[in-house]
Amino acid sequence: MTDARFGDLKARVLSALAMVAVGIGALWVGGHVLAALAIALAGLMGWELYRMVVPDAPQGRAEAHGVVAAILVAVFSYTWGGLVSVAGLGLAAAILAMRMPRDARIFGAYMALILLGAHGFIVLRGEYGLDWVLWLVLIVIASDVAGYFAGRLLGGPKFWPRISPKKTWSGTIAGWVLAGVVGAVFMDILDVGAGLIAVSMLLALAGQMGDIVESAVKRRYRIKDSSNLIPGHGGVLDRFDAMLAVVALALVLSRLGVLRALTVEAG
């Protein structure tokens, strides 16, 4: 007997397995392979974002913004680093938003998140290595899985019903807890102190807020999915909304010295 609460589980799991296989492979190899994947995803997400904000745009306009997003990630990832890249990508998103026919602030803020998230994957993998990026990926997966099952099995009060009616407090808290477990496991792997547990839970919250922000954008424009590119998940933004927020925050924390401080704490 099929439980209606898990009716989309098969497509969701199969798509997730395919994405994990491709993603882990690119993360393992790193270098230009990972950069190519991150740049391509930035382009697809830029395309989806423009289509959401300006659904009646002339043909080719959304595609052009996707190409620009990909180029920006490529240029900044292979040229500048540090806080310069963070500020530069934010400025680039603001400039793109100035040309928007409507909702410039929404587009600019979300485009900045896309650019920083994609850029963050490339530079964090290069600077910190595979294990640190796997930690980030597993935080997102743990939070998503815990939230999905706890929310459906336990139910309870909604976290933010006006924007994300399916997200519950039970699922949200379960996501924090499992992310903290991931942090505890990675303490030895990364050779860092217990502060990693708190940072893991903070990043899980950031990922959940990334999911909620995308839900708010979709609700504003009365659409269900950012596109239909991924079976069971909708579009690329639908699947990577949380990942973008986690990696973008991790990038900022790295530039502020927080991640390096965790290694000092362990010492």
- Give the pLDDT confidence of 244-265 residue by residue, as tens digits: 999 999 999 999 999 988 886 6
pLDDT (0 to 100) of residue 1:
40
Whether the CB-CB separation of 63 and 49 falls below 8 Å is answered with no
Query: Strands, DSSP E only, in 97-183?
Result: 158-160, 164-168
**Is the pTM for the entire model greater than 0.85?**
yes
The residues spanned by each domain of the chain are 4-266
Binning pLDDT at 50, 70 and 90, where does residue 197 land?
very high
Whether the CB-CB separation of 213 and 49 falls below 8 Å is answered with no
Please name the residue that has the structure tokens 């994609």: 118
Residues 75-129 have pLDDT tens digits of: 999 887 777 888 889 999 998 888 787 788 889 999 999 999 999 999 999 999 9
Q: Is the pLDDT of residue 67 over 50?
A: yes
Whether the CB-CB separation of 251 and 124 falls below 8 Å is answered with yes
76: Cα separation from own chain's centroid: 19
Q: Is the pLDDT of residue 50 over 90?
A: yes
Residues 119-139 have pLDDT tens digits of: 999 999 999 999 999 999 999
pLDDT (0 to 100) of residue 167:
80
How far apart (Å, rounded) are the C-alpha atoms in residues 207 and 134? Answer: 15
In terms of pLDDT, which residue wins out, 50 or 154? Answer: 50
Residues 135-191 have pLDDT tens digits of: 999 999 999 899 888 877 877 777 777 777 778 888 889 999 999 999 999 999 999
How far apart (Å, rounded) are the C-alpha atoms in residues 170 and 190? Answer: 30
Whether the CB-CB separation of 24 and 17 falls below 8 Å is answered with no
User: Measuring CA to CA, which residue among 250, 249, 256, 225 is closest to residue 239?
Assistant: 225
Mean pLDDT for all residues in the chain: 88
Q: Is the pLDDT of residue 5 over 70?
A: no
Q: Which two tokens stand for residue 27?
A: 């993360």
